[in-house]
Amino acid sequence: MDCLEIKGGTPLHGEVEISGAKNAVLPIMAATLLTTEPCVIRRAPRLADVHTMAAILRSLGSRVDFKNRTLTIQAARISPHADYDLVRKMRGSICVLGPLLARLGQAKVSVPGGCVIGTRPIDLHLKGMEGLGARMRNTAGYVHASAKRLIGNDVFLGGRAGPTVLGTANVLMAATLAKGITVIESAACEPEVVDLATFLNSMGARISGAGSPTITVQGVRKLHGAEHSIIPDRIEAATYAIAGVATRGKVTLKGARADHLKAVFDKLRAMGVTIEQSRGRITCRHPRKFKPVDVTTQPHPGFPTDVQAQMMALLTLVPDISIITERIFEARWSHAAELARLGANIAIEGPSAIVKGGSPLSGAPLMASDLRASAALVIGGLVAKGTTRINRIYHLDRGYERMDEKLRKLGAKVKRVPQT
């Protein structure tokens, strides 16, 4: 197992190419289960989670080929049983439930694992399938679902912390083969849901309203193969933008979409960051002096919870008080204690973190606990004086393609070394 060794204090400069979105490619891979015909998915990032989903699809019977960031998947003959040993590795694997149920009339899927960032129940997934007429049981760690044919219906997916992204994806995929019309109310509006709907429509689905709180699906009898290119990863783009300005550098994001980053860019501009767009590139430049801001995570188009940790790392540099309020995942604060080991002054009070910035950071050994917390620790290490070693970076490999290589191209002094 490797760790990441960072010698901090070097400003990042240059251009970084943004990979395809992890949170878009995983449900799109699951959607290939809806047809017997081959599907081609381009701009697929080489991530641990993508390889895990590929292994799950193979275990179900799909043929999966992954070369040069292009996935070719054909689910000609598949099984309805998604095994625990693979599904437990990531939460996104629950997305096979809807396609298996819609196509085969049955599914047995292990309750998934993933990052430990708070309670993330799958009750809305089950509610959505029941709304389409499925019989659902949750026993012995597995979800059992069955239906002769799903029937279109009005499905409400609002939850305690707002809409469910994966739940929306699951119901959306299931509804494509349901009889009649399905209307999903309080649907997630994230760009990844729109990307999934675009792929499904290219397969022959009839979906309208994706990207809004109301999605309408006219069910069809059969879907066919399709080709698709994955949208750029807005969370990766935000991470590199924040890393660049945190190190008092200037980083250009190649291929990122500004319309997917409005809430993040709004806060960065409020802090004094200069952001310029030109010919498919977005350049972020640090200000002379950062200004404090308050941040509240919200469902899209609000500030994404997946950028909360990275923003906290940046706010530790601002010589004033900033408050971050987490409204999506109540326990998403593991990075705060690790940033404190670098010298950050952060107090957690209920759903909020009070960041008293301006204290100098110094390198220390750190322990990553989840994907986005890992990214925050990397940013802290890039800024801190001295050497920082981040253990358990397999979390990073789940969601950031070749992060150490990309950082080195920007001038960072970072390398993988064996964990001791």
Place of tokens 């999966």: 64
* Residue of 3, 39, 95, 115 marked active site: 115
Nearest to 31 by CA among 195, 221, 218: 195
Q: Helix, strand, coil: what percent of the chain each, to 5? A: 35, 30, 35
d(CA 148, CA 134): 8
For 77-233, where are the alpha helices, taking DSSP H only?
A: 84-87, 97-104, 123-131, 165-175, 191-202
CB under 8 Å, gap of 24 or more: what pairs does 221-226 form?
A: 221/177, 222/35, 222/177, 223/34, 223/35, 223/176, 223/177, 224/35, 224/37, 225/35, 225/37, 225/38, 225/39, 225/40, 225/74, 226/39, 226/40, 226/199, 226/202
Place of tokens 């191209």: 409
The enclosing H or E element of 159 equals: strand 158-159
Q: Quick check: helix, strand or coil at residue 28?
A: helix
How far from 262 is each of 268, 293, 301, 304, 318, CA to CA, in Å? 10, 16, 8, 10, 22
- With a CB cutoff of 8 Å and minimum separation 6, the contacts of 121 are none
Taking a C-beta distance cutoff of 8 angstroms, is the pair 71, 40 a contact?
A: yes
d(CA 51, CA 384): 33
Taking a C-beta distance cutoff of 8 angstroms, is the pair 143, 126 a contact?
A: yes
d(CA 381, CA 379): 5
Alpha-carbon torsion (397, 298, 303, 156), positive or negative: positive
166 burial type by CB count under 10 A (0-12 exposed, 13-18 middle, 19+ buried): buried
Active site residue 189: no
E strand spans, 68-119: 70-74, 81-82, 106-110
HEC string of 118-140? CCCCCHHHHHHHHHCCCEEEEEC
Taking a C-beta distance cutoff of 8 angstroms, is the pair 313, 339 a contact?
A: yes
- With a CB cutoff of 8 Å and minimum separation 6, the contacts of 104 are 78, 80
Q: Which residues are catalytic?
A: 115
